[in-house]
Amino acid sequence: MDASSDQIAPALLGWYDACARVLPWRAPPGAPPPDPYRVWLSEVMLQQTTVAAVKGYFAAFTRRWPTVTALAAADEAEVMAAWAGLGYYARARNLLACAREVAARGGAFPDSEAELRVLPGLGAYTAAAVAAIAFGRRAVVVDANVERVVARLFAIGDALPGARPAIRVAAEAITPDRRAGDFAQAMMDLGATICTARAPRCLLCPLSGPCAARAGGEPERYPVKAAKKPRPQRVGRAFWIERDEAVWLVRRAGRGMLGGMRALPDDGWSARGDGAGPPPLAGPWDSAGTVTHGFTHFGLDLHLSVYLGRDWASLPAGVGEWWPLARLDEAGLPTLFAKAARLALAGTGDGD
């Protein structure tokens, strides 16, 4: 470890005191820690999602469910609908499971990293973040921004993901015993605003002095990333069935892709066959076009078919529900099916 590493925490915390981002789930630098519920909720929402995208969802969730016990008492369908559009829907299911576990324990989050790891859905990163930010515990918090900052500070040349153990060792070495929560948030802010993936603003960086990547003249080289594998493309079919200003929606299976969400019926395009399957309607059907959507590990071309018949009685009872078109935005459709709905409405003349 570079001898200058003992300069890092004081320099970074000084910068954070002057330049910390103002975020709705944070306490100002040096202030008492924020409510653990708000820290935990924000960290779950921020996983693989931008701050800009999360702000509105965080405000809506905390208005509707201001405490962890309020969230624990919520209906799962309402939580999934409120989450719609944030993606990675397993997070919403884990969110509710964790809230109910905390409520069962008396409504208070445990204050240690080890105890937090026991809760549903709290991995190493989230447990460390909550322990440091909400409880002031010394914990090593490494997200993508911190990963980039540390890889550059110490010019860690191994490619990701293999470099992660070395990055964690380096992050451990520079994490201070005091103000661990502020330090974690300062590292996140530095990566988000100064030490960015492209065109890092090294002249404004409080850590430019001890930064090995800057000294080497190639900060953008780090972290080194392995070549991406080609993402496969799948093809599926979804079905728009409309009657009396309402559309037929189904609930997807609780596990797997978009689990537990309201959706249009489809042909089971996912690898696990989680779709509801084609509805038992002989037709006639008409093509409304194709929606293209990207998931983490594959892309999807979803062909949309619109039902033009009147044999609604053959739809199986208890499998779906007629949802009013005027309230379709309240159904909480995931982005894929919201795109398909817009396509159908544009084609039928029911949308703007």
Annotation marks residue 172 as catalytic: no
Contact (Cβ atoms closer than 8 angstroms) between residue 232 and residue 197 = no
Question: Within 13 Å, how many C-alpha atoms sit on residue 248's CB side?
Answer: 27
Separation of alpha carbons 25 and 91, rounded Å: 18
Cα Rg of the chain, angstroms: 24
Separation of alpha carbons 321 and 77, rounded Å: 13
Separation of alpha carbons 133 and 180, rounded Å: 7
**Which tokens sit at 319?**
């499998």
Separation of alpha carbons 330 and 81, rounded Å: 7
What DSSP designation does 317 have? T
Helix and strand numbers (H, E) in the chain are: 13, 9
Concatenated DSSP letters for 234-250? EEEEEEE-EETTEEEEE
In terms of residues, how long is the chain? 352
Query: ω into residue 284 within 30 of 0, thus cis?
Result: yes
Separation of alpha carbons 300 and 275, rounded Å: 14
Which residue out of 43, 113, 147, 242 is catalytically annotated?
43
Share of the chain residues as helix, strand and coil, in percent rounded to the nearest 5: 45, 15, 40
Q: Which residues sit opposite 301 in a β-bridge?
A: 235, 292
Separation of alpha carbons 305 and 238, rounded Å: 6
Separation of alpha carbons 59 and 23, rounded Å: 11
Q: Which residues are known catalytic residues?
A: 43
